[in-house]
Amino acid sequence: MDLYGSTTSPFVRRTRLLSSAYLDDGLVFHDIDIFDQQGRELLSQHNPTLKVPFLLDGEHNIYDSRVIFRYLAKKFDLNELNWQQENQLTLIDAASDSLVEILLLMRSGIDPSQNALFFNLQRERLGKLFAVLEQQVERGEYNDWYYPAICLYCLIDWAMFRELVDFSPYPSMRAFHQQYASRDDITRTDPR
Ligand SMILES: N[C@@H](CCC(=O)N[C@@H](CS)C(=O)NCC(=O)O)C(=O)O
């Protein structure tokens, strides 16, 4: 099984961490540059959304990290996510998507702190999402190192790495991050 993606993407790293924790490192990771010609050709060939990650397994070509998780869970008989966990993942994905868009706009020379509808909506969304995620972490909802916790870790660590979120108002998320920071697979997949 071959996983294609970038080392920096939080969506890619979650699948790599799942692989190290639950699949006996059964995925071969291919680091691609999604902005160079070769990377874009691969993307165009295998994932029409032009995003990473995507997974190749025999005749299967699976894209979107959430669907890749479902595919791997079925193939390796991992626990399915319950509805609460699905909702957690929706929150984590919404925050990750919003921050990825903001980063791309910043790289396009656009100031995300401006008072404009798109940015105001993202700020409101991110404020809400991080407040709810903080409460969930505080309640112990991410105590098991399974897919939702892995995805949350990838979001927090990536947002710190890109300096996109001030985590000072979120002590539970900081403690959660600290708790796992020295795991071997986490240091091995650190994008810094
Ligand atoms: N819903 C997708 C999101 C993937 C995603 O946004 N990947 C980013 C990298 S972090 C990407 O490829 N962005 C390229 C672009 O937006 O053009 C998933 O879960 O796999």
Cα 121 from chain centroid (whole Å)? 21
Give the C-alpha separation, 108 to 137, whole Å.
Answer: 34
Q: Which domains, and CATH codes, for the chain?
A: 2-75 (3.40.30.10), 83-188 (1.20.1050.10)
Q: Which residues of the chain are under the pLDDT cut of 50?
A: none
Taking the CB of residue 19, how many other CB atoms lie within 10 A of it? 21
120-138: pLDDT as tens digits: 999 999 999 999 999 999 9
Q: Is 47 in the pocket of ligand 1 (CB under 6 A)?
A: no
Ligand 1 centroid–CA 142 distance in Å is 23
Q: What are phi and psi of 112, to 5 degrees?
A: -75, -10
Running DSSP on this structure, what letter comes out for residue 51?
-
Q: Kindly give the number of the ligand 1 atom that is closest to the alpha carbon of 10.
A: 10
Q: Is 9 in the pocket of ligand 1 (CB under 6 A)?
A: yes
Ligand 1 centroid–CA 2 distance in Å is 17
Ligand 1 centroid–CA 167 distance in Å is 23
Q: What are phi and psi of 35, to 5 degrees?
A: -105, -10
7-34: pLDDT as tens digits: 999 999 999 999 999 999 889 999 999 9
Q: Return the pLDDT at 25.
A: 84
pTM for this model (two decimals): 0.98
Q: Return the pLDDT at 98.
A: 98
Q: How far is CA 67 from CA 5, 15, 54, 74, in A?
A: 15, 11, 10, 11
Ligand 1 centroid–CA 125 distance in Å is 18
Ligand 1 centroid–CA 11 distance in Å is 7
Give the C-alpha separation, 20 to 22, whole Å.
Answer: 6
CA atoms within 13 A on the CB side of 189: 32
Q: Return the pLDDT at 58.
A: 97
SS3 29: strand
β partners of residue 30: 4
Q: Is 70 in the pocket of ligand 1 (CB under 6 A)?
A: no
